[in-house]
Structure 1
Amino acid sequence: MINSFLMIGQSNMAGRGYLNDVKQIYDEKIKMLVNGRWQTMIEPINFDRPTSGIGLAASFAGAWRLKNDQKEIGLIPCADGGTSLDDWAVGGTLFENAVFQAKLAQKISKLSGILWHQGENDSFGGLSALYYDKLSVIVDAFRLELDAPDIPFIAGGLGDFLSGGRYGKYFTEYNQVNDALQKLAETKPNCYFVTANELTANADGLHFDAVSQRRFGIRYFESLLEKKNILAPIPGENELIGIIEERPLTKNEQRTLLEIDFAFGKMSLSDLEEKLILLSD
């Protein structure tokens, strides 16, 4: 039985890290939900915008696989860039879509956690004062709709780079949002907070870069594994990322990646056939 995880929030959950900045994570036992069916994960996982890229979910899944060598994990991508808590309100389009996708996944998997990253769009104009109460209602509603009252809800903090970036004037209350997220973790059962300390941004000063997203995913998994808040960087994050990214590929995985490169026009048919023959030896 696949263990599945719902991915919700805004762009930093969907992922905007540059695809070429990190090595691809490819593992036939890591799946993503596409049209109600499990497909082998390939990044970008959460294609909400043409700018979609590396998010935290792939390294989260890779870390999960290191502890569950013979099991499969499934990712349910439902994050949408630029969205506020009001956009995620109970009964709204984003909420209903995420519930629908999660229920599809529940038919073919065990829903094992909810991964949340959002808050940039609620970091100005006094909106942060309402953050705790609004998010608490949303968490309760997801648990009710999915008949999963004890499901872990893991929320990541906002980056300290926000106030100094290109859009810094819009994020004057990001610290207050982080406080609200930590309060949720302290007061609501099976809710956990993951720090973004020492993580860095793309040039826009808004989105976590690809390496930071890899590190973030490790922290999310550690929170799930230990059932606790992660309030500081985890020792050996980069080494663990290296283990995940450098996992030896099976021959079938190598064949599939060759077929993908061919489909993208990265190699000729003759090159593809030659490489497939070599793999068969």
Structure 2
Amino acid sequence: MKHLFIYAFVLFSLKAVAQNPDFKGKKLHLYLLVGQSNMAGRGKVEESDRTPHPRIWMLNKDNQWVPAVAPMHFDKPEAGVGPGLEFARVMAEADTSVIIGLIPAAVGGSAIDSWQPGGYHDQTKSYPYDDALRRAKAALPAGKLKGILWHQGESDSKPALVGSYTQKLEALIKRFRKELSARKVPFVVGTLGDFFVNRVPEAKDINEQLRQLPRKVKHTACVEAAGLGEKGDKTHFDTPAARELGRRYAEAMKRF
């Protein structure tokens, strides 16, 4: 009974803190997480993923700041472990004077065409770009946008779509930076997994375009997903791979 009381008290305390986090006088670094399912995460949630870090927060579905735990995203019921939480852990340990604020906004199955103003994603009955922009603007009063993480391209690995991917991605970056008044905010992308490339030939072209992005757009970087494992569906990273991908994103972000 005593343990049950303590557990209930901890839950109540977390809820109270989440409703009224005190960020005043503290440096809150915001990171927007966008793309499709491998950014949202489909890895199996483990106990460590449910353990909050005192300096890592996330904006929940209701635009409230809560301690960051997996699953962070809510795009689909199968949301699980993605790269975002491990990314935040590395960034938090790199600078112990800051609080990390994550803005989960990825949407599983979303093609890049839905990441434009008014773009609609039928699978989730959502507007990925508009929703991400709205959530980012809701978070901005609490801190400063320090980076945008993008992992997407599986849905565009098709003969009719792959040729225009770079043009659309460049336009997306420009829009986000303009709308969020962050002209030089770092934008880090990640390549698609080897397991997906081996199954879908056009994915190789998407990866080459992602690798070329830093040569075309300032303040961008590309991290490699090479060698990372999948959960058994030849599409999604497993939990260890998602965490490693998050560490790779963090190492790239720290160089800005």
Is TM > 0.5 for Structure 1 vs Structure 2? yes
Which residue of the partner structure matches residue 90 of structure 1? 117
Contact 1:90–1:138 (CA<8 Å) still a contact in 2? no
Evaluate the alpha carbon distance shift between residue 37 and residue 24 of structure 1 in structure 2; reply closer, same or farther with a 3 A threshold. closer
Contact 1:13 1:118 in 2 (8 A): yes
Aligned-partner SS, 2:114 = coil
Structure 1 ranges of 4+ moved more than 3 A: 20-25
Distance apart, 1:22 and its partner CA: 6.3
TM-score (norm 1): 0.76
Give 1:163 shift.
4.3
- Paired letter, 2:41: G
Tell me which residue corresponds to 1:153. 187
Q: Secondary structure of 1:192's partner?
A: strand
Aligned to 1:258: none
Aligned to 1:201: 230
| Distance of 1:60 and 1:15 partners within structure 2 | 13
Cα deviations by residue, 1:44-83 (Å, 9 ceiling, x for unpaired): 0012111111000111000011111132101001100001
Tell me by how many angstroms 1:15 deviates. Answer: 0.1
Per the alignment, residue 204 of structure 2 pairs with 175
2:241 maps to which residue? 212
Does the aligned pair in 2 maintain the 1:159–1:197 contact within 8 Å? yes
TM-fit CA distance, 1:136 = 0.5
1:78 maps onto 2:105 in alignment: yes
Report the structure number with the largest CA radius of gyration: 1
Q: Secondary structure at the match of 2:188?
A: strand
Q: Does residue 42 of the first structure (1) align with residue 69 of the second (2)?
A: yes
The separation in 1 between residues aligned to 2:197 and 2:94, in whole angstroms, is 37
2:177 is the counterpart of 1:143: yes
Please say if residues 44 and 53 of structure 1, whose CA atoms lie closer than 8 Å, have aligned partners that are also in contact: yes
Post-superposition offset of 1:37: 2.6
Alignment of 1:19-168 (within 5 A): 19-20=45-46, 24-34=50-60, 35-92=62-119, 93-164=127-198, 168=199
State the 1:24 CA deviation: 4.4
Contact between 1:25 and 1:58, CA under 8 Å: does it hold in 2?
Answer: no
Question: Which amino acid in the other structure matches residue 12 of structure 1?
Answer: N
Matched letter for residue 223 of structure 1: A
Partner of 2:23: none
| Inter-partner Cα distance in structure 1 for 2:161 and 2:40 | 22
Equivalent-residue separation in structure 2 for 1:21 and 1:74 (angstroms): 21
Q: Conserved in 2, the CA contact under 8 Å of 1:31 and 1:40?
A: yes
Unaligned runs of 5+ in 2: 1-26, 120-126
Q: How far did residue 25 of structure 1 move?
A: 4.7
Q: Output the aligned Cα RMSD.
A: 1.5
Match of 1:14 in 2: 40
State the Cα deviation string for residues 142-197 of structure 1 (Å, max 9, x = none).
Answer: 10111100000000100110145xxx3xx221110011111212210001100001
Contact 2:63-2:135 at 8 Å conserved across structures: yes
